[in-house]
Amino acid sequence: MPKKLGRYTIEFENKIFVQSFSAVAGKKESEGPLKEFFDKIFQDTTLGEETWEKSESKLQSQVVKLSLKKAKLTSEDIDYIFSGDLLNQNISSTFGLKKFGIPFLGQYGACSTMAQNLVLASIFIESKVANRTLAVTSSHFCSAERQFRFPLEYGGQRTPTAQWTVTGSGSVILGLEKKTDIYINKVTVGKITDLGIKDQNNMGAAMAPAAFETLQNFFSDTETIPEDYDAIFTGDLGAVGSNLLRDLLIKEKNIDISKNHKDCGLIIFKRKEQDVHSGGSGCGCSASVLCSYILSKLQKKEFKNIIFMATGALMSPTSVQQNEPIPGIAHLVNFRTV
């Protein structure tokens, strides 16, 4: 039986093993530091499709195919698929995954979606309602820009605190069978946190309070400290949000994560050279960093116990236009190796 630690954290009785993982990315991402870790790079970010929305859908279908192939499974072997994305009504997921015919549960956690999918996918395995589950998400710079900000053709200026939406996708298959040495041990579900930030060009600041909330809940529930983990990955707070998170933890709780904290939005790009301002963002940012760099390092035992906490900004262009604040959320997954 799973154990509830405190109010927010679940410790699994079973080892929820990663069966396989894969990540795909676009041209700009391939020019960053993680190039060698991606399974597939699309230099042509249209992926041969007529619309950016269909290009993003194809990122998801490609990455799911790769994960199935690596685990030597077919879509019939997957009991449930958890997916979501940033586009209105989750259309990248719907259109990208419909042909697989896998029972589908659509998720929305903005850029926290990969962690949310993993929380649900692992609980389904732990509870024995599923033998194998798949978690996937994506984002695409071009579909996100035109939906959330400006048409690309407009060539709008970006503010220094703005983040750059990653073109990429990551997927993980989970199950009880030990196909890799990596397993999910604990998960923490976040709550909606709103400190009244209204600047949609500063998502890092909007998400940092949620990241603070979930991370300190996790440490408190598990009675652990940052040094117990090889690395603490947040995604995607960027430069502004990362600094805010570290400051909040020190000032409010005297918790120092500076030694082993890394942000997915900061490690996917060479920030200054690639002109991405505060760093990468989008559901596909933390998902593609997790499913390339992070899980590879776990597989090689360079990491043995890490925290993956994805953060999301729960706004829409409508709520921003209506001058509403930007609530944030963060969900956390603790990966370990046997």
Interaction site with a second copy (CB under 8 A): 1-2, 4, 7-8, 10, 51, 53-54, 79-80, 84, 86-91, 94-95, 97-98, 101-110, 116, 119-120, 123-124, 126-130, 147, 189-194, 314-319, 322, 324, 327, 329
From 32, 31, 95, select the one nearest 59 (Cα to Cα).
95
Q: Is 270 helix (H, G, I), strand (E, B) or coil?
A: coil
**Minimum Å distance from CB 256 to a second copy?**
26
**Minimum Å distance from CB 145 to a second copy?**
14
Cα(276)–Cα(30) distance, rounded to whole angstroms? 14
Q: Toward a second copy, which CB reaches closer, 86 or 232?
A: 86
Q: Which two tokens stand for residue 135?
A: 């978690």
Q: Which two tokens stand for residue 313?
A: 């900004």
Residues 6+ apart with CB under 8 A from 174: 16, 17, 18, 19, 118, 121, 122, 125, 132, 133, 134, 135, 184
Q: Toward a second copy, which CB reaches closer, 33 or 106?
A: 106
From 160, 126, 119, 133, select the one nearest 67 (Cα to Cα).
133
**Minimum Å distance from CB 4 to a second copy?**
7
Q: Toward a second copy, which CB reaches closer, 13 or 273?
A: 13
**Minimum Å distance from CB 265 to a second copy?**
19
Q: Is 185 helix (H, G, I), strand (E, B) or coil?
A: strand
Q: Toward a second copy, which CB reaches closer, 127 or 159?
A: 127
Q: Toward a second copy, which CB reaches closer, 162 or 329?
A: 329
**Minimum Å distance from CB 327 to a second copy?**
5
**Minimum Å distance from CB 317 to a second copy?**
7
**Minimum Å distance from CB 190 to a second copy?**
7
Q: Is 274 helix (H, G, I), strand (E, B) or coil?
A: coil
Q: Toward a second copy, which CB reaches closer, 249 or 315?
A: 315
Bridge partners of 312?
329
Please state, as a whole number, how many other Cβ atoms lie within 10 Å of the Cβ of residue 251.
10
Please state, as a whole number, how many other Cβ atoms lie within 10 Å of the Cβ of residue 281.
34
Residue type for 338, please? V
Q: Toward a second copy, which CB reaches closer, 2 or 33?
A: 2
Q: Which helix (H) or strand (E) holds 169?
A: strand 168-175
Cα(264)–Cα(253) distance, rounded to whole angstroms? 23
Q: Backbone dihedral region of 173: left (phi > 0), alpha (psi from -120 to 50 degrees) or beta?
A: beta
**Minimum Å distance from CB 324 to a second copy?**
7
Q: Toward a second copy, which CB reaches closer, 105 or 255?
A: 105
